[in-house]
Structure 1
Amino acid sequence: MANRALSEALRQIPTRVSVQPSAAERVADVLREQIVNGALRSGTRLTEETIGAALGFSRNTIREAFALLIAERLAAREPNRGVFVATPTASDIRDLYATRRLIEPAALEHGIGFSHAAVARLREVVDAAHACREHEDTAGVAQGNQEFHRTVARLAESRRVDQLMEGVLAEMRLVFHLMGDDPGFHVPYLDRNEAIIRDLEAGDRAGAAAALRAYLSDAEEHLLGALHHP
């Protein structure tokens, strides 16, 4: 009887299950992109009416999208006021860097995706960021720096780590926007990226991991100092 019930239930499932994103996910994707690229800054109120009218979705769909962004810490709901783009705090910065120190150095030292090809990819990312610096493209430098850290995390070859890192980097963009995207912040770290890639090219994964731990701690203090003394 149990097998017959299971078979009957399975016959009700479509043979091809759709993997298309829901309407709420599509709305969240649009808003997330605008938050990450700085078009929607911390403290901006997100209203159902305005977003629904602009994107052509119902208020229920917009509410579901808000819930997704709140879960990602990119938005926050304030009682009796509404939903706003999140404003990172000093506590958020400390938590983000605690997470990064667990993920990134471990990926460098122990990631199963480490190979000559992976190191070559990191070299391409670092060289592209240097080219942006030479052309005084500060936005390109910032993007290159984030791509360096994203590529480091991918050495873990874990979809869960990749997903977690994408969320961390999205929150980091909010932090950088809060600083006013100071062009002086990212540039000094390019040389430290260069030192890390040289360690990797020499086969010194432990040295690269140690350098990245120190780098992340210094960046954390740099950001906390800027937050307290804008």
Structure 2
Amino acid sequence: MPGADLIDTLAHAAESIRRSTTAEQVAETLRRQITDGAVPPGTRLREEAVVAAMGVSRNTVREAFRLLAHQRLVDHALHRGVHVRAVSRDDVRELFVTRRLVQPLGVEAALRDPALCAALDERVAAAALAAAADDWTAVGTANMAFHLVMVAGCGSAHVTAMFEQLVAELRLAFLQMPDHRSLHEPYVAANRRLVDLLAAGQRAEALDELARYLDSAEAQILAAL
């Protein structure tokens, strides 16, 4: 019966969705562990360990690994398994090419939207508090949140999703840096200057400040790598 065929088809599709959803959840859990620094670049992700820790099937873990590879957070090498990706100098250059193309959109958005400026101000305040507590990992998180909020303000879900992936890759580069304080400390003040310029409506100066920020950050990371 056509109805029975449809039910079988939908049941199969529903099972595929459940498997996909579980793999996405596993991938997101691993993604947070990677970008938070709990699993540093170069670490091997052993399939059997993830299966045991998360209580999911091998197929689910393999699909999660595929998702992470698509996000450029892990590498899968034949006979070597899956490893958290180490970012190269060329990778960093590509990331900053993209940042220079995308982030001016966030500047334009913040110039039009006082609420976005206020949200950026909150991220700067969070970074300053973390710096005062000598928590430089939290400063880095607040710094990246600052730029994510700015880009999200341009109103494009596609651009925001792309930039979120870029930030996750950039966090891998941060994790390879020997001194997190020297990496993140200068950008608390830089973000404050940028917010002040945006709040004052100084477009050209804000774009110049962003360009200086990106040039400095790229040079610093490349020198460390």
**TM-score of the superposed pair, with normalisation by structure 2:** 0.88
Q: Percent identity?
A: 39
Report the equivalent of 2:50.
51
Specify the code of the residue in structure 2 equivalent to 1:30. T
Deviation string 1:49-79 (CA, Å, 9 cap, x unpaired) is 1111111111111111110000000000112
Give the CA RMSD over aligned residues: 2.4
Report the equivalent of 2:112.
114
Aligned residue among 150, 153, 157 for 2:151: 153
Matches within 5 A, 1:186-225: 186-225=184-223
Post-superposition offset of 1:113: 8.5
Could you tell me whether the CA contact under 8 Å between 1:113 and 1:157 is conserved in 2?
no
Distance 1:13 1:81 in 2: 38
Distance 1:211 1:105 in 2: 11
Could you tell me whether the CA contact under 8 Å between 1:113 and 1:156 is conserved in 2?
no
Structure 1 segments unaligned to the other structure (5+ residues) = 1-8
Post-superposition offset of 1:87: 0.6
Aligned length: 216
Distance 1:147 1:222 in 2: 20
The question of 1:91 aligning with 2:74 is answered no
Post-superposition offset of 1:181: 5.1
Distance 1:187 1:198 in 2: 18
Distance 1:167 1:142 in 2: 16
- Bigger proportion of residues as helix: 2
Specify the code of the residue in structure 2 equivalent to 1:221. A
Specify the code of the residue in structure 2 equivalent to 1:135. A
Report the equivalent of 2:132.
134
Distance 1:52 1:68 in 2: 16
Structure 2 segments unaligned to the other structure (5+ residues) = 1-5
Deviation string 1:135-163 (CA, Å, 9 cap, x unpaired) is 32222211111111111111211111111
